[in-house]
């Protein structure tokens, strides 16, 4: 069987997501290994790097893909054919690894992508007290590699382009930190006013996940070509709508996803007490008994599998799941309605629509 390169899509395709992801993973691991070779040797170095490398070179590479798509939309090379776009994809993948290490620590998650979370690896390897400090330091290392990879990606561009792209990447990472802070604070929001909770969560989702997962990477790629402000404004509106839909899909997967597919325990978001739009909708529609059960189960790390099954059943019985799915569809349609405003050719429009479908219609 032959394998296509990232710049050779299959019949009727504008890009092949799996081939693109494999390309990004290979380049990311190569970059990581090249950096590792520059560090002075020490007997502890192998373990330190192993912690970091365990989060590198895996996943769906959606954000890297969005950068290459954004570049293509604004007049750049087809997806997979721009080295700068691919290298910026490597940079954002390294940041994603950093964010996941810290996110898993904050959530006290046991696993990520079917392997132990970094803080759990450290606890096993070094002792219970080492989990938090090691995870903080590994996340910091990967954030530093994001800066380094961004610098390398843009080093041959004119000075103005370098500044524009580096500045925007830094804004992305800073914005996620601010959004993550709001997400942490949200976990203490009371559950007794679900309508207010839903509005609050929506704003946090739009800032933290919606922007970072879709809109910012698309715009970063487009900025490689310095397009007109109107183009960027429309792309932002599309990306924000699809970004919120992306996170809402993620929340549905978190409640109902198959652990073998997602790499995280089914119902982990419920045990962690995550305030999601899906949960707020469920609380709004639940009767008194079911709402009480939800309030006592959400955030209960000792919740049993039977408890989780009951929560899932309540979500479905109240109609919240269907309402949530309809809201996702509405956001997808909102983005789709704006695509033609970008004034692109057929292939570029197809690339954007395919990306939107991949982001919002998935099982993991």
The 10s digit of each residue's pLDDT in 199-221 is 889 888 888 888 999 999 999 99
| Residue at 59 is within a domain | yes
Q: Which residue has the higher pLDDT, 260 or 47?
A: 47
pLDDT, residue 128, reads: 95
Percentage of the chain surpassing pLDDT 90? 75
**Alpha-carbon span 338 to 341, nearest angstrom:** 5
| Residue at 45 is within a domain | yes
Q: Which residue has the higher pLDDT, 32 or 187?
A: 32
| Residue at 1 is within a domain | no
Percentage of the chain surpassing pLDDT 70? 95
Backbone angles phi, psi at 16, to 5 degrees: -110, 110
Q: What is the CATH number of the domain that holds 134?
A: 1.10.600.10
Contact 284, 196 (CB under 8 A): no
Phi-psi label, residue 127: left if phi above 0, alpha if psi -120 to 50, beta otherwise: left
| Residue at 6 is within a domain | no
Contact 189, 160 (CB under 8 A): no
Give the contacts of 232 (CB within 8 A, at least 6 positions apart). 219, 222, 223
- Out of 80-84, 121-125, 199-203, 313-317, pick the least confident: 199-203
> In what helix (H) or strand (E) does residue 190 lie, and over which residues does it extend?
none
Residue among 62, 70, 118 nearest 92 (CA): 62
Rounded average pLDDT over 219-228: 96
Q: Which residue has the higher pLDDT, 257 or 230?
A: 230
| Residue at 153 is within a domain | yes
In this model, does residue 286 exceed pLDDT 90?
yes
In this model, does residue 124 exceed pLDDT 80?
yes
In this model, does residue 232 exceed pLDDT 80?
yes
Give the total number of structural domains in the chain: 1
Rounded average pLDDT over 106-125: 91
pLDDT, residue 265, reads: 67
- Out of 128-137, 299-308, 346-355, pick the least confident: 299-308
Question: Residue 169 belongs to what domain range?
Answer: 17-360
| Residue at 9 is within a domain | no
| Residue at 40 is within a domain | yes
In this model, does residue 361 exceed pLDDT 90?
no
Rounded average pLDDT over 168-189: 90
| Residue at 54 is within a domain | yes
Rounded average pLDDT over 152-159: 96
Q: What is the CA radius of gyration of the chain?
A: 21
pLDDT band at 4 (very low <50, low <70, confident <90, very high): very low
């Amino acid at each position: 069987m032959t394998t296509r390169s990232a710049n050779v899509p299959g019949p009727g395709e504008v890009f092949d997501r799996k081939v693109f992801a494999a390309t990004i993973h290979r380049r990311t691991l190569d970059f990581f290994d090249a950096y590792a070779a520059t560090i002075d040797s020490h007997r502890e170095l192998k373990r330190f790097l192993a912690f970091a490398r365990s989060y590198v070179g895996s996943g769906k590479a959606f954000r890297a893909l969005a950068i290459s798509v954004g570049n293509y939309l604004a007049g750049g090379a087809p997806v997979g054919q721009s080295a700068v776009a691919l290298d910026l994809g490597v940079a954002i993948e390294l940041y994603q690894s950093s964010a996941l290490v810290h996110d898993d620590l904050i959530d006290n998650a046991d696993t990520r992508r079917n392997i132990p979370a970094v803080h759990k690896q450290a606890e096993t390897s070094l002792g219970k007290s080492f989990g938090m400090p090691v995870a903080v330091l590994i996340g910091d290392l990967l954030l530093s590699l994001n800066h380094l990879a961004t610098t390398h990606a843009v080093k041959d561009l004119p000075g103005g382009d370098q500044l524009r792209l580096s500045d925007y990447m830094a804004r992305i990472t800073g914005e996620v930190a601010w959004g993550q802070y709001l997400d942490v604070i949200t976990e203490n929001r009371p559950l007794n006013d679900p309508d207010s909770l839903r509005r609050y969560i929506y704003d946090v989702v739009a800032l933290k996940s919606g922007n970072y997962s879709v809109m910012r990477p698309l715009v970063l790629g487009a900025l490689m070509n310095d397009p007109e402000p109107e183009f960027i404004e429309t792309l932002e509106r599309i990306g924000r709508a699809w970004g919120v839909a992306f996170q809402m899909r993620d929340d549905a997967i978190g409640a109902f996803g198959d652990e073998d597919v997602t790499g995280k325990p089914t119902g982990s978001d419920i045990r962690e007490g995550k305030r999601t739009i899906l949960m707020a909708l469920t609380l709004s529609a639940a009767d008194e008994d079911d709402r009480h059960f939800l309030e006592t189960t959400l955030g209960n790390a000792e919740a049993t599998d039977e408890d989780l099954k009951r929560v899932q059943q309540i979500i479905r019985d109240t109609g919240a799941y269907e309402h949530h799915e309809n809201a996702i569809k509405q956001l997808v349609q909102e983005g789709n309605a704006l695509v033609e405003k970008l004034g692109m050719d057929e292939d570029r429009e197809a690339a954007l629509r395919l990306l939107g479908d991949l982001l919002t219609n998935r099982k993991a």
